[in-house]
Amino acid sequence: MIIYSNFLKPNNSRSIDYFENYYLSFDNNGIINYFGNKFNEIQNFENDKLLDLTNHIILPALIDLHTHIPQYPAIGIGKGTLLDWLEQQIFPLEKKFDDIEYAYNLSLKVFEESIKFGTATIVAYSNLGYESTNSSFEAAKDMNIKAYIGNALMDFNLAKNLNKTTDYNIEISNKLIKKWHSESGKLKYILTPRYALVCSMKLMKWAAKISKENNIKIQTHLAENKDELKEVNKLYKNISNYTEVYNQAGILHDNTLLAHGIYLNDDEVKIIQSKGANIVHCPSSNRYLQSGILPLINMKNIVPIGLGTDVGGGVSLSMINEMKEAIETSKTFNITENISNNYLSAEEAIWIATKGNSKILKLDNEIGDFGTGKSADFICINKSRLNLNDNLSSNDIASKIIYQLSNQYVDSTYINGKKVY
Ligand code: GUN
Ligand code: FE
């Protein structure tokens, strides 16, 4: 198939370029074989269908690096800050997710909504169960979304009806890895020690070992909230800081996604950098739960920082909304610190949600832009929705998309060359 349209393509300098009246061609397996403006250069053109979308703008599909499937019904519900919110809103909802039919249907809903918002690849937490996590994988398969899914590893410090043993966590994780993990497929397992307050050192060490031995990614939460920090320091009195707890568990490496990372000192940022681990910024959640403000502009040149929705602390599955939140949060940081620092630009926000996130997943040879040999994962936006003037820069167009469409569906989403919405 060949698409004739206008494209926003992330480049190698954390920004994007705008190409008007270009061709994107891909084969029956959804692999891109041409991106350019010369129709006669398109190879293997066997009576391929040509689709004129010149009234649209096309972007690489978005990548959501952090969200919680069972928490979708909690969006906008509940008050207070992280620890109380988890106890009062979240853990009961995650218990409900043990019902297999409920888990399957809710997972379908989450993936469908994500696709409508333009996400083609999602990294998600399930709850702590086997059957429920299995249902989430089934739903991802049925929705044709690319997904990393993990059962939340939790073995201590929990209410009775949630408590599971370390051995139980290990046993079901092994079963899920065996059933679902594939290094090259659309569905991948991700090891998910939830965070230091509910996952024992023994279980974290096990997850780290399996991650390294099998090249499986690992995700957790880090330094999101000040009360959380205090509790971690109480629990691990002999360990100098929160990041060092994870370092001693062995879970800091280049396959690691650390959500939030708001309250890190210079030493902690340095450890994360030296281990090649990644931070995932979740700005809408950081505001909803009053967790704090990530010093994004200062940190992004030191460690890789991706972007995720973190539903249900986050208020939407829309990565376009999350980009807006990331930009606005970087301005709020400048206001509260009384500095006139740069804030995150619109084009860099789009770069992060596409190419940047693909690099963090080490999938930048497969997704994230329109390079030859990559997957035709892209989203289409009708230009009429953007009220564009003439002579706009690529950053202006990016900004229009982010501010006019935050929390709105895109017009269509393609995954592996197939229209899924
Ligand atoms: N830390 C541990 N679990 C969670 C969770 O579910 N959401 C958020 N925002 N932070 C967490
Ligand atoms: Fe989270």
Query: Which of 68, 84, 86 to mutate to test ligand 1, by most ligand atoms within 8 A of the CB atom?
Result: 86
Q: What is the pLDDT of residue 341?
A: 87
pLDDT exceeds cutoff 80 at 44: no
Q: Which ligand is nearest to the CA of 74?
A: 1
Q: In 3D, which of 23, 18, 55 has the Cα closest to residue 398?
A: 18
Q: Which ligand is nearest to the CA of 123?
A: 2
For residues 70 and 103, is the Cβ–Cβ distance under 8 A? yes
What percentage of the chain has pLDDT greater than the value 70? Answer: 99
Q: State in Å: Cα 227 to ligand 1 middle.
A: 13
- Nearest CA owner, ligand 1 atom 3: 194
For residues 260 and 291, is the Cβ–Cβ distance under 8 A? yes
Query: Which of 199, 221, 226 to mutate to test ligand 1, by most ligand atoms within 8 A of the CB atom?
Result: 221
- Nearest CA owner, ligand 1 atom 11: 221
- Please list, residue by residue across 289-311, b when 16 or more beta carbons sit within 10 angstroms of its beta carbon and e when fewer do: bebbbbbbeebbeebbbbbbbbb
Q: State in Å: Cα 28 to ligand 2 middle.
A: 37
Q: Which atom of ligand 1 is nearest to the CA of 314?
A: 9
The DSSP H or E segment spanning 220 is strand 218-222
pLDDT exceeds cutoff 70 at 46: no
Q: State in Å: Cα 287 to ligand 1 middle.
A: 13
- Indicate the angle between helix axes 226-235 and 242-249, nearest 10 degrees: 50
Q: Which atom of ligand 1 is nearest to the CA of 285?
A: 9
pTM equals 0.98
Q: State in Å: Cα 46 to ligand 1 middle.
A: 50
Q: How confident is the model at residue 49 (pLDDT cuts 50, 70, 90)?
A: confident
Q: State in Å: Cα 153 to ligand 1 middle.
A: 12
Which residues touch 33 (CB under 8 Å, ≥6 apart)?
25, 26, 27, 42, 43, 44, 372, 373
Q: Is 51 helix (H, G, I), strand (E, B) or coil?
A: strand
Q: State in Å: Cα 28 to ligand 1 middle.
A: 40
Q: What is the distance between the alpha carbons of residues 36 and 141, in angstroms, rounded to a whole number? A: 32
Q: What is the distance between the alpha carbons of residues 56 and 35, in angstroms, rounded to a whole number? A: 16
Q: Please state whether the peptide bond connecting residue 78 to the residue before it is cis, i.e. omega within 30 degrees of 0.
A: no
**Owner of token pair 């702590």:** 128
Query: Which of 85, 127, 156, 224 to mutate to test ligand 1, by most ligand atoms within 8 A of the CB atom?
Result: 224
342-354 residue pLDDT tens: 999 999 999 999 9
- Nearest CA owner, ligand 1 atom 1: 221
- Nearest CA owner, ligand 1 atom 9: 313
Pull the structure tokens for residue 42.
Answer: 């398109």
Q: Which ligand is nearest to the CA of 286?
A: 1
Q: Which ligand is nearest to the CA of 124?
A: 2
Q: What is the pLDDT of residue 289?
A: 98
Q: Would you give the distance in Å from CA 342 to the centre of its chain?
A: 24
Q: In 3D, which of 272, 250, 249, 247 has the Cα closest to residue 260?
A: 272
Q: What is the pLDDT of residue 390?
A: 87
Quickly list H helices, 289-345: 296-299, 319-336
Average pLDDT, the chain: 96
190-243 residue pLDDT tens: 999 999 999 999 999 999 999 999 999 999 999 999 999 999 999 999 999 999
pLDDT exceeds cutoff 80 at 48: no
Q: Is 142 helix (H, G, I), strand (E, B) or coil?
A: helix
Q: Which atom of ligand 1 is nearest to the CA of 152?
A: 3
Q: State in Å: Cα 314 to ligand 2 middle.
A: 8
Q: What is the pLDDT of residue 39?
A: 87
- In this prediction, residues 316-327 reach a mean pLDDT of 98
Q: What is the pLDDT of residue 43?
A: 73
What percentage of the chain has pLDDT greater than the value 90? Answer: 94
258-296 residue pLDDT tens: 999 999 999 999 999 999 999 999 999 999 999 999 999
Q: Which atom of ligand 1 is nearest to the CA of 198?
A: 2
How far separated are the first and last CA of the chain, in Å rounded?
17
Kindly list the protein residues whose Cβ atom lies closer than 6 A to any atom of ligand 1: 68, 82, 86, 90, 194-195, 221, 224, 285, 310, 313
Domains and CATH numbers, the chain: 2-60+370-419 (2.30.40.10), 62-317 (3.20.20.140)
pLDDT exceeds cutoff 80 at 45: no
Q: Is 262 helix (H, G, I), strand (E, B) or coil?
A: coil
Residue 96, CA distances (Å) to 19, 69, 91, 192, 306 in order: 48, 12, 9, 19, 30
Q: What is the pLDDT of residue 21?
A: 97
Q: Which ligand is nearest to the CA of 280?
A: 2
Q: State in Å: Cα 309 to ligand 2 middle.
A: 8
